[in-house]
Amino acid sequence: MTLAPNVEIAGTLDGGSGGDVIEGGPHADRIIGDSADAGSAGLSGAIAATPGNDTIIGGPGNDTIDGLDGNDTISGGSGNDTLLGSAGNDTLRGENGNDTVNGGAGNDTLEGGAGNDTLEGVDGVRGNDSLDGGTSFDSCTADTFDTIVNCP
């Protein structure tokens, strides 16, 4: 489906199987990737939202997902993902795989899940982030008084 420039829709847009490029608008978006979205041979993908409160779910490949501004909920899926919350109060879940999760500015919740993850909660504000490494050996970097669990 191709929309004319500057046309906005409310609701959920699911690209289905095959390669897709889905770009959210300035409002609350829900974006779901599969193994072939914006990737190479179905192995990885890149998803970037725009300002707004977005829900983004990566596919089984190695995804790079940037929520940009807004209070976003991002799940990486089963690949080795890079999740960026940017500005806003975000919830980022790496899930399976060896993930890099960076909350950016705001009051963020970072969850590594299974795999050896790197969680980065440093935003210059003390005590506003929560980091949970999950079940494997993880690396967590945070500001003073941020909450850190399951990280050596």
Q: Strands (DSSP E) along 67-143, which ranges?
A: 73-75, 82-84, 91-93, 100-102, 109-111, 118-120, 130-132, 139-141
Tell me what pLDDT residue 36 has: 42
SS3 8: coil
Intervals of the chain under pLDDT 70: 1-46, 48-50
Beta bridge partners of 74: 56, 92
Rounded to the nearest angstrom, the gap between the alpha carbon of residue 92 and the centroid of all alpha carbons in its chain is: 5
85-94 — which CB contacts under 8 Å span 24+ positions? 88/53, 92/67, 94/134
What was the pLDDT predicted at 40? 34
pLDDT of residue 42: 37
- Percent of the chain scoring above 70 in pLDDT: 68
